[in-house]
Structure 1
Amino acid sequence: MLLKYFPLVLLLAQCIQAAPTSNGATTANPNDPTQNELEQEAHNETIKLLNALFRAQIAYFSGVRVKLSSSSQRARDIELYVSRLREAITETDLDKKNEMWLKIFEQFSKSPLLLNKPEETGLSNDEYQALLTDSKLQEIAQSFIQDVSTYFWKMAQISGKVVELGVDDYFNHRSMQHQ
């Protein structure tokens, strides 16, 4: 189930890397309070999205973990993964949070969390597949897709405001030159 959303997660990773950061943001006019406000809004929306991503994964994998034997290797793998996600939620610096997310994402892509090894899960392939595609878990994934859609909508609105400010500044600057 999560694999069908993998391209969306890759796109999200690229967008988050391009998002404004606390120490890497540049402004056309650093003294413009509106520009600074828009950058702060984009910064806050990116943090909210990352936290939503972490919470969705925590909810999803916690739902998987409770249906596994607590002594299984997969349950321990999931607990470690969830603990890293919880740690990332507590981080307040966007640059560090972004680094943590990319590291967690890289670790996830190399992990066997979505693969069944009966000796690690205690379940047959069919049982593990049913567990991963549980309707409650699908709801969590759908909720995350809505969070991503909301993020892109808000970022598009912020981008539109930035373009509008740039155009206004350009025309104001040109009209001043012609006077």
Structure 2
Amino acid sequence: MSPLDLENIFKGIWWRAQNEPSLEGLTPELIAGWARDKGLADPVATARDVGAFNPTPGIVLEVGGQKACFPRISSEGDASLNVRRKVRDDEALLWEKLEWFAPLWLPRGKIREVVAAVQHCTKERAIELFDYHTSTLYTLAFQAVCIAQIMPQARSLKEIVPLTRIP
């Protein structure tokens, strides 16, 4: 069976799970049974938490080396997910104000420091503070590689880009 066919079967199982009265009622036996009903040979389903930082209870189905995870909690009814989503959405709005994205190479503590500094500022002041904070976080060589070559057109970096151009 091709990976695309298996993916479609996994999607079908997920749609069936969403039609259940509650995702909390999902069991490994139920998911494995649905997989067998779809013609999959030797499905292995296990109940376990999935996710590195904020584990979600789920059922992991493995068939022929391919895995699918079916959460046992709805995204709409999970209070902790809603809180985390709001925090990330607020952070995204602040990064949008900076015409930027959250730099993946910065530790979370440093990102929070930059975000906290611009939270209640105008866009222009936020960009000035961002410029200040980036100058304290990076060496010039690191800026050249990670910033100027990735986002050379960003207005918030217009003063730094000429300095970091490599001939």
The TM-score range, normalised by the shorter chain, is under 0.3
Larger strand fraction of residues = 2
TM-score by length of 1: 0.24
Larger helix fraction of residues = 1
Larger radius of gyration between Structure 1 and Structure 2: 2
TM-score by length of 2: 0.25
Higher RCO, 1 or 2 (CA under 8 Å, sep at least 6)?
Answer: 1
